[in-house]
Structure 1
């Protein structure tokens, strides 16, 4: 992240694609309801299911990133499959960190993460698809292993997002997995 004295790249700068309309929805509702877009029912997921589901998603992401249209945005203001892949790689990393905090601290407060700023500052649109596929698989394996290692006695441990939303290890896994599944839906994989 940059501090207030570092200028941020903005849409229209060299290598920075057109702006994406920020997603400001509170997606925690997926913990209670089936997602009408992707069909995922997060409430049915248990912590031991998360690691295997992440691993099952990895070949699909590799295939998405190998597509000839991976760099193309389907319409203005919508991420390309490449940008979604970079986002998911970072989601793997962020949730691995958050799960680690929940397992090692009492009621940690998670650092804010702005996915739209991360996309611009991380150059999601200019990633190398083959390298990204490798990074995504590596990060996915790490977070899958961490979910596999959760002791059943720890599924109720809590942590909080900077907006005040509280998660247990179980609901964090459910919320996280919805994000991965939903983005596969977004890229038609």
Structure 2
């Protein structure tokens, strides 16, 4: 398939230790208590980006369109919502593997309706913002493991998540 995106195999956990040179976010500076407001603030930026006339067009064959990035972010919200839920309700859960590239293909991201994706992204973001807002002071240090063995606390998972969204906003110039 000529429009195939090369799978991202990088271990992005390094963003928990240093500022991202591409998007500029210092994830370690993100505090858990700030996540609800941050998540709610990102929604309108995605809605605006998805309303662009070229939102469905890839800038280059190997780079996702705004629509594809937005679908990914919507699914990131859903995935991280579930992971935070597990971390605050179970003892040191291990998360199921989530292959973002497979999700893009199976979810047919490029064929989705930008207006519907905007609504879904905002709704998923609001749900995740509420999830973060409900994390108690003693729960930010609860732990969980990604399927590859990467260990997180609720707070570092939130920081890692924040980088993903901010980086993709940077990717789509929103």
State the TM-score bracket (shorter-chain normalisation). over 0.9
Q: Tell me the residue number matched to 1:153.
A: 138
Q: Give runs of ≥4 in structure 1 deviating > 4 Å.
A: none
Secondary structure at the counterpart of residue 135 of structure 1: helix
Task: Kindly indicate whether residue 17 of structure 2 is the aligned counterpart of residue 32 of structure 1.
Answer: yes
Gap regions ≥5 residues in structure 2: none
1:141 aligns with 2:121: no
Residues 116-168 of structure 1: CA deviation (Å, up to 9, x unaligned): 00000001000100000000000000001100110010111000000000000
- Structure 2: distance between partners of 1:107 and 1:77: 37
Deviations 1:54-90 (A, max 9, x none): 1000000000100000001011111000000000000
TM-score normalised to structure 2 length: 0.99
Matches within 5 A, 1:78-117: 78-117=63-102
Establish whether residue 120 from structure 1 lines up as the match of residue 105 from structure 2. yes
- Tell me the TM-score normalized by structure 1: 0.91
Unaligned 5+ runs, structure 1: 1-10, 13-17
Structure with the greater alpha carbon radius of gyration:
1
Q: Does 1:54 align with 2:36?
A: no
- Find the aligned partners of 2:77 and 2:7 in 1 and give their Cα distance: 20
Equivalent in 18, 33, 51 of residue 66 of structure 1 = 51
State whether structure 2 residue 8 is matched by structure 1 residue 23: yes
